[in-house]
């Protein structure tokens, strides 16, 4: 979430950055200043500590100096000068290298006025705004957080500076809440849980951003995809499958080339036997061009519409190395993709049905913290297609969401160039919004300039279909990273890698345990027997750490009664029920995809 530049919180964080720089100069007079902007959780400042004995454990000393400056109630005063005056002032302040380079860069771009803010003995080149005095700053609601390296102006060609990050809020309570949330988010970070639960692995021999799905993670993928296939069958979709590569011509037609080329892997050049020329093939970055060709593979009538083509298709994108992050940003992704081809008259009902499907998905996964964002065009010339169609589509999207009682934010000018779209935003464990699902309207791909998609209408004339792109469950990679954190790694029984673990109390109970495991396995339940030599208490602890949904305790009494004692993850309560009753309950829980405990993400 961006902070408004005129808001009090923005002013506090911006002013705090100046106080940090002043404190560092007090403790380390030889340090040179870079930039110091506010961030969404506080602020940072970049310093050049060359020839300075800076240590990270000095943060407490700097923080103490900052509190002194706040107590002095120094007034922030504004002044303005031209480029020459700015260079002169910075030279006097001893801040030549980085600040002066910045002034010259801005001057070359046509900037003629440069402003400074003074507070006490400190001055900095800055546009503001700031609070009135340092006494207005919350002395108990900030904390120097960590140190990192950062290249000057963000370029690896430049010198690496030291960046000091700080947290800052308006009240101590907000700072405390944030640090507690962050500790919880770190505990349930999907990269950490992925290692602990053996879900996925990255290996340099394969390459950055190219995950290897381990057996446990593959089970989760398969169960989610199975559920999506069932849901799509229910909603009238037809499944398709397309290649991972295609000729250059396809992506020139779709427009991915040349405009999207930087996000695509370089082409492979292939020379067919007996041919004189080579052809270029690309790894696909999107499924939609392939689906458009499937639509065009046979003549279509209005009676064939709506046609809903769905695929969990694997795509490849050359994300920058520095932007890769666990499963959230990868270079190989399997997308929960579909494209709906319809008449304009069918558009409203198809959109309504798609939103209904999305909400069914969210209900199953117990996702509750989400909001809708309607992205529409503005008056700029970057949007293609008939303005009348845009108006109708935008109006219908808003109408349906209003009728369904959905709250939504309108993002003016945020539509895709080819049509309006809906983004569904979810809150992660830090409370930040992330886009997980999308619905996009496409007025471009069916045109003569692109794929020339046609259907014959009732009046025997050819018309272009309206296209809707939809992805309720994002990609396997992104969605599983999200729910891993949301569930805290404790997946519901239906998609958990291991659903039931049997814990025989003593050796004499092994036969009963193995017999029950065999019966569960025959019903496709993922089950194991812990026949280790560990003590019973250690068996409980070990299998609880694996976050297995159901532990079955089997002792002599259970054998005698033909029963089981059920212990669920997250609960110390135990319930002894008949074996038949348990089997019936378990089958229903898996079949109906029930989740019996609240996900961690809905609690904090």
DSSP 239-267: E----SEEEHHHHHHHTHHHHTGGGSPPP
Q: Which tokens hold the place of 584?
A: 């019936």
Higher pLDDT, 13 or 418: 13
pLDDT at 1: 43
What would the mean pLDDT of 141-152 be, rounded to a whole number?
94
Class of residue 574 by CB neighbours under 10 A (exposed 0-12, middle 13-18, buried 19+): exposed
CATH superfamily of 200-244+284-484: Bira Bifunctional Protein; Domain 2 (3.30.930.10)
pLDDT at 5: 58
Contact 510/470 with Cβ under 8 angstroms?
Answer: no
Q: What is the share, in percent, of the chain residues with pLDDT greater than 90?
A: 78
The reply to whether 200-244+284-484 shares the fold of 8-187 is no
Q: Per mean pLDDT, which range of 266-280, 470-484, 547-561, 563-577 is the poorest?
A: 266-280
What would the mean pLDDT of 47-58 be, rounded to a whole number?
86
Q: Which residues pair with 335 in a beta bridge?
A: 313, 475
Contact 38/81 with Cβ under 8 angstroms?
Answer: no
Q: What is the C-alpha separation between 391 and 565, in angstroms, rounded? A: 61
pLDDT at 7 over 90: no
pLDDT at 278: 92
Q: What is the CA radius of gyration of the chain?
A: 30
pLDDT at 393 over 90: no
Q: What is the C-alpha separation between 488 and 186, in angstroms, rounded? A: 10
Q: What is the pLDDT of residues 334-345, one digit of tens each?
A: 999 999 999 999
Q: What is the C-alpha separation between 520 and 522, in angstroms, rounded? A: 5
Q: What is the C-alpha separation between 164 and 36, in angstroms, rounded? A: 9
pLDDT at 275: 83
Q: H/E element holding 166?
A: strand 160-168
What would the mean pLDDT of 561-579 be, rounded to a whole number?
95
pLDDT at 515: 96
Instruction: Tell me which range, 119-123, 154-158, 306-310, 504-508, is most confidently predicted by mean pLDDT.
Output: 306-310
Q: What is the share, in percent, of the chain residues with pLDDT greater than 70?
A: 98
pLDDT at 462 over 80: yes
pLDDT at 431 over 80: no
Q: Which tokens hold the place of 536?
A: 């019973």
CATH of domain 8-187: 3.30.980.10
Q: What is the C-alpha separation between 42 and 165, in angstroms, rounded? A: 8
Q: What is the C-alpha separation between 306 and 354, in angstroms, rounded? A: 12
Q: Per mean pLDDT, which range of 12-26, 183-197, 430-444, 466-480 is the poorest?
A: 430-444
Domain boundaries, the chain: 8-187, 200-244+284-484, 493-602
- Reported as a pLDDT band with limits 50, 70 and 90, residue 419 is confident
Higher pLDDT, 282 or 407: 282
CATH of domain 493-602: 3.40.50.800
- Reported as a pLDDT band with limits 50, 70 and 90, residue 154 is confident
| Mean pLDDT, rounded, of the chain | 93
Q: Map tokens 């209005």 to a residue.
A: 302
**Residue 459 burial (CB count, 10 A):** 7
């Amino acid at each position: 979430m961006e902070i408004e530049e005129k808001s009090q919180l923005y002013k506090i964080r911006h002013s705090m950055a100046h106080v940090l720089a002043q404190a560092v100069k007090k403790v380390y007079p030889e340090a040179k200043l870079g930039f110091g902007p506010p961030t969404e959780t506080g602020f940072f400042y970049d310093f050049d500590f060359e020839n300075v004995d800076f240590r990270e454990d000095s943060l407490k000393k700097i923080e103490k100096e900052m509190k002194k400056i706040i107590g002095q109630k120094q007034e922030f005063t504004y002044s303005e000068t031209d480029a020459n005056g700015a260079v002169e002032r910075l030279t006097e302040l001893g801040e030549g290298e980085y600040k002066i380079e910045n002034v010259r860069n801005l001057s070359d771009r046509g900037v003629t006025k440069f402003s400074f803010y003074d507070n006490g003995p400190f001055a900095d080149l800055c546009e503001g705004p700031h609070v009135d005095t340092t006494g207005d700053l919350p002395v108990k609601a900030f904390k120097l957080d960590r140190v990192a390296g950062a290249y000057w102006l963000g370029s690896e060609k430049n010198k690496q500076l030291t960046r000091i990050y700080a947290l800052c809020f308006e009240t101590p309570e907000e700072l405390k809440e944030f640090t507690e949330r962050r500790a919880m988010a770190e505990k349930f970070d999907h990269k950490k849980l992925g290692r602990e639960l053996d879900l996925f692995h990255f290996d340099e021999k394969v390459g950055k951003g190219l995950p290897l799905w381990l057996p446990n993670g593959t089970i989760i993928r398969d169960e989610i995809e199975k559920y999506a296939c069932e849901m799509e069958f229910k909603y009238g979709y037809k499944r398709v499958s397309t290649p991972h590569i295609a000729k250059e011509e396809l992506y020139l037609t779709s427009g991915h080339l040349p405009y999207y080329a930087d996000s695509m892997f370089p082409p492979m050049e292939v020379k067919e036997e007996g041919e004189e020329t080579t052809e270029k093939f690309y790894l696909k970055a999107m499924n939609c061009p392939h689906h458009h060709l499937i639509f065009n593979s046979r003549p279509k009538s209005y009676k064939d519409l709506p046609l809903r083509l769905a695929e969990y298709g694997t795509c490849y994108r050359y994300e920058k190395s520095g932007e890769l992050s666990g499963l959230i940003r990868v270079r190989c992704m399997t997308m929960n993709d579909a494209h709906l081809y319809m008449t304009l008259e069918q558009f409203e009902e198809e959109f309504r049905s798609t939103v209904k499907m999305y909400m069914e998905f969210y209900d199953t996964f117990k996702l509750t913290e989400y909001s809708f964002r309607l992205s529409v065009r503005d008056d700029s010339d970057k949007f293609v297609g008939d303005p009348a169609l845009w108006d109708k589509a935008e109006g219908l999207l808003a109408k349906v969401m209003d009728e369904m009682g959905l709250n939504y934010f309108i993002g003016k000018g945020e539509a895709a160039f080819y049509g309006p779209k809906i983004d569904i935003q979810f809150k992660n464990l830090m409370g930040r919004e992330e886009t997980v699902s999308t619905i996009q309207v496409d007025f471009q791909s069916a045109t003569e300039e692109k794929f020339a998609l046609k259907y014959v209408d009732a009046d025997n004339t050819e018309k272009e279909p309206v296209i809707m792109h939809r992805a309720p469950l994002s990609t396997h990679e992104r969605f599983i990273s999200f729910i891993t954190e949301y569930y805290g790694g404790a997946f519901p029984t239906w998609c958990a890698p291991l659903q039931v673990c049997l814990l025989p109390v003593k050796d004499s109970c092994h036969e009963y345990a193995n017999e029950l495991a065999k019966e569960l396995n025959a019903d496709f339940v993922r089950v194991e027997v812990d026949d280790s030599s560990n003590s019973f208490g250690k068996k409980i602890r070990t299998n609880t750490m694996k976050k297995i949904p159901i532990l079955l305790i089997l002792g002599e009494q259970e054998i005698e009664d033909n029963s089981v004692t059920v212990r669920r993850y997250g609960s110390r309560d135990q319930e002894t029920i008949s074996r038949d009753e348990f089997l019936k309950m378990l089958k229903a829980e898996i079949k109906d995809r029930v989740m019996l405990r609240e996900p961690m993400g809905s609690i904090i």
